[in-house]
Structure formats: C-alpha cells, structure tokens
Chains A and B, each alone.
Chain A
C-alpha cells in the first residue's frame, strides 16, 4: 500500500461492519482505520488527518448526523459518507443538506460503494491540488524586481544565479526596498517554483504566537488550540520558506529554528512526533545583525546558518536612475486598475520624484504614485498631486530648473550619498572618473 493512499475512517458501533468495510477498502488499496463511536472518531480525527469518513447513522450516543456536523466544524475538507440500513428520504435529504458527500443504504452494490468513495477521494485530492496550485501561483507571478541602475542590474544577475541553487539567502536592505519581491523572484526562478512559497513576518508576532506559527501545534497544546494546526515550516515542505524580519525573532525561538534548519525536522508545539521537512530558506532583515550578535540579541550560530549568501538591496536614494522606471511602471498599473487616463508625469513632477530622498524607499514611492493617481484624474501628474511635494527634497526641486542646474544638483547628491567616493559616484552616474572630475570642476563642486 502506497504512502500516498487515501485514508478512510470507518465509524460503526458494530464490529463486523467495521471489519467487513475495513477489509473491503484495504483490498481496494486505501489506508483504513476504524472507530466504534462518534466520540472515538473525533478523537482519531484530532490525532491524524483522514480524507474520507464513512459513518453509520444509527449509533448510540453521538449519531452519524451529529458526527458529520462536528466534523464540518473541525475538518471541513473531510468528505463524510453516511451509511444506514434504514432508507429514509427525509434523513438522506437532511444529511446531504448538512454537507454529507453521499448517503448509502445497506446492503451496498460493490461497484457503487467503490465508485462513491473513489469519487470522494478524487474530490479531496483535487481540492488539495487546487489549494496548492493557488499557493504556488502566488509565488510564481513575476513581481517587479527591476531597475536601470548598475546596482540593480548586478543584483538581478546575482538573484538569478543564486535562485538556481538551494543556498540559504539573506536579503538585507532598508524598509521598503523590496526584500519580499526579491524573495519571490528567487523562488520563482528556482527549481522549487512549483512548491509553496511560505512567508512568515517574524516581527509581527508575539513570541508565543510565533512559535506556533512556525512549528504548528497539536490539539490541546494550549488554551485555544482546538484542533491540530500545521506550522509554516511544515507547509513550506517541498518549497521555499521566507522569514521576513528574522532579526526580530526572540532568542528562545532562535534555538528551535536553528535546530529545524540544521536537522530538517520539526515537532509541533505540544506534540512528540518528529516531522521531516525539506525547504529552501530565504531570510530578510533591515537590522544590523552583526551588531545584534555582538549584543547577544541574535545567536551567532543562527547568524552563520542563514548568512550563506547575502544580497543587499540598495536604498532608492542611492540609485536615482531607477526612480522614474518604477514610477512609470506603477503609474501604468494604477491607471489600468483605476481606469484613469493619466498619461505621465510633468517635468516638474519628474524633477520632484528624482530629487526626493525616499526614506521609505520603493514602498513610499508606490504609495506616492498611487495617491497621485487618485487625485489626478487625467493628463499629467503635477507636483501638487504628489504627497511628497511638501517634504524635504521639494525645496531643491523648486530652484533652478535648467539642465545644468539639474545636473549640478544631481552630481552633488550622488557624491553626497557615496560619501564623496568619486569612483563609486562615477559608477552610479554611469560615467568615468575623468568625466566626473571635469564636471566637478565645471560646477565648482569640492570635496568637503
């Protein structure tokens, strides 16, 4: 019998019925278990999953209809087939209205019984496949990780190189730089693309919840644990696990996470069973992890475990040539979504966008463009449509708008951002060092 055989739970208070049906379905290749009562069936469902429950209706204590209602509360994906020796149209209608997959009367035609159970199992399989495909599709939709700047071109090349491997990746960057987009691109370009991409925002959850979120829990593990729940590490099996804000994980959880990453095994909270898991790990942080290790807030062994391959996403202010590429992309996207006939950005609006520092990075840029699209119904987006026009950077934009003026301010900005590293500034500007030195002389720009 295959490990992937559908699993059935036979529920009947009569032993010979349980034995007879169990034998029948074992011969058909199913994994079969049996329970003598509705209460026992619920206990078994709490311990392990079943695809189909075949239950007699007439049982002492909890009858089959009550059992079916309870199953729908705790395991709505399980198909329940009710069986009875007493044919009653009213009961059959009630059972089906309350969600039974089918209703069969004893004695069964062997072909019909096999057909009904096979169809129920196929339905469960298709539901699971559908859910898995939706999850996978979310990870494969090509998200925007692009840019004209050399830094982004190099980053994209790096991403595509590492994506082909199973190496653990640590993505670093300020808030809003697109770390999750990079993680999605890595997953989409990897051999695990058709596996799940499971994301955990480690900074958003309190310690107790984070543990359960990562490792899952067994029924009754704590107050409120009314049913078994798979954790994100288990759900990521076969795919990619993205741990965002990994620097925020509490020390206690860091220990358990390290063990899971090294042993490829997890145990649910409140459980004892070791579950083998196989996933690729991508982490992201905007924290200084090295400093956190020095200060004892982040374990050094976990740091070395996740820092196998590092990708740094530069902040938007360090790659101003990417600003309009991104702004135009999101303008088109929001124009289509909102049905707006907004054709582009005015020169003044472009100037404003390119000279703003973008402390919130790409996320702030996207929000600004979206806001502009709401207030600008048609034509070109003007500076007053952008929420940043009252902020720092706007003053610069209100000065000399000649090409030379704009070039001078741009060179000053890039030099400032590079710490007056002329070689780096030249690379960012896309010109050679000699040309940059000439322009610095031309505009009277001196090293401070």
Chain B
C-alpha cells in the first residue's frame, strides 16, 4: 500500500523482487494512505506506529502481511528515526524510501540503489511480521542495519536458519 507520493513503478518493481525472494504471492493494494495525520510538527517526521494502526483498518486476512511503503521520514517514539517498523509476529509493517535515498545523505540520486535498499528493508520488516528477530549472520535480510550503507551489504534473502524458521526457501545467501 502506498503511503504518500510513492511512484507506482516502485511498488511494481518491489512486488517482482518480493515474489522472487519469497516465492509467495504478492499483490499491490489499490488504497493510498495519507500520512498527514501521522505528522509530528515538532519533530517534522511521521509516526510509524500511527501509520501501522491505520494499515490495520480493516485488518488484513489471516496469513496476509500488509506492508505500507512510504516516502516520508519515519520515527518511533524514543528514536531519532527508523527506516521501517513492524509488528513482531503481527500483520502489518511500514518501510520508507526517505532515508534510503542517497540524496538524504547528500549523495547524487541513484534510483537503482534506492530500490535495492527498499527491497532489503521490506524483507527485513516482513521478517519481523513473520516472527523473526535480528540475525547475526551478516548478509541475512534480518541483520540489523541502522545506517543506509549497512542495508547495502545485506542480500535479498534470509539465511538458512531464518529461512527455516519462516518456511521460505533459502535465497541469495
């Protein structure tokens, strides 16, 4: 589901990548969520927890994970920023392009790199909704990453242990 002005081709490309990575059906929702109600004027960021509550209305069917893709800067209360957030073992997650875009760090625009990072970040948050916690295997999608360059070194898949836990095939590792 799009949150804000996320270009539709981004979701289509993301869908293709996720189908390959998870070998599960992925579809792109029609709804578009307005992030404005989640805006925090003092922080000038958007509350990820509030966005996830809105993603839950209505709740997705059982065994379906609903992931919102945003282009705004997200935060969790207590933290300066997050790339995304998820319900651990729950139904929804949210991921944002904002800080994954190299332009945020003052670097030249790089659409391919932004997309690559988004795919990895979405796989990470999806993993949390499937009950996975952070993984120590460098390169696993569940390895923690707090800076965009840390996202770059991950692969588009889960390590053997994580994959066995969620029943997905082992990919790219």
Q: Measuring CB to CB, which residues of chain A are less than 8 angstroms from any residue of chain B?
A: 1, 16-17, 20-21, 23-24, 26-29, 106-111, 113-114
- Chain B residues 74 to 123 lying within 8 A of chain A, measured CB to CB, are 75-82, 88
Q: How close is B32's CB to chain A, nearest CB, in angstroms? A: 27
Q: Which B residue's beta carbon lies closest to that of A21?
A: B78
Q: How close is A121's CB to chain B, nearest CB, in angstroms? A: 13
Q: Find chain A residues with CB under 8 A from B134 CB.
A: 27-29
Known contacts A26-B88, A28-B134, A29-B134; A114 and B79 CB within 8 A of each other: no
> Which of A28, A110, A113 is the most central at the interface, judged by chain B CB atoms within 10 Å of its CB?
A110
Complex: A28 Cα to B128 Cα, angstroms: 10
A28 touches B144 (CB 8 A): yes
Q: How close is A187's CB to chain B, nearest CB, in angstroms? A: 34
B88 touches A23 (CB 8 A): yes
Q: Find chain A residues with CB under 8 A from B78 CB.
A: 17, 20-21, 24, 106-108
Q: Which B residue's beta carbon lies closest to that of A2?
A: B133
| A to B contact number (C-beta, < 8 Å) | 47
Known contacts A26-B88, A27-B128, A114-B144; A108 and B133 CB within 8 A of each other: no
- Report which of A20, A28, A114 forms a contact with B76, defined as CB distance below 8 A: A20
B79 touches A113 (CB 8 A): yes
A16 touches B81 (CB 8 A): no
Q: Find chain A residues with CB under 8 A from B12 CB.
A: none
- Report which of B76, B80, B128 forms a contact with A109, defined as CB distance below 8 A: B80
Q: How close is B122's CB to chain A, nearest CB, in angstroms? A: 15
- Chain B residues 119 to 173 lying within 8 A of chain A, measured CB to CB, are 128, 133-134, 144, 146-147
B77 touches A16 (CB 8 A): yes
A17 touches B88 (CB 8 A): no
Q: Find chain B residues with CB under 8 A from A21 CB.
A: 78
Q: Find chain B residues with CB under 8 A from A26 CB.
A: 88, 133
- Report which of B49, B77, B82, B128 forms a contact with A110, defined as CB distance below 8 A: B82
Q: A27-B128, A29-B133, A107-B75 given; name 20 further pairs at CB < 8 Å.
A: A16-B77, A17-B78, A20-B49, A20-B76, A20-B78, A23-B88, A24-B78, A27-B88, A106-B78, A107-B78, A107-B79, A108-B79, A108-B80, A109-B80, A109-B146, A110-B79, A110-B82, A110-B146, A113-B79, A114-B144
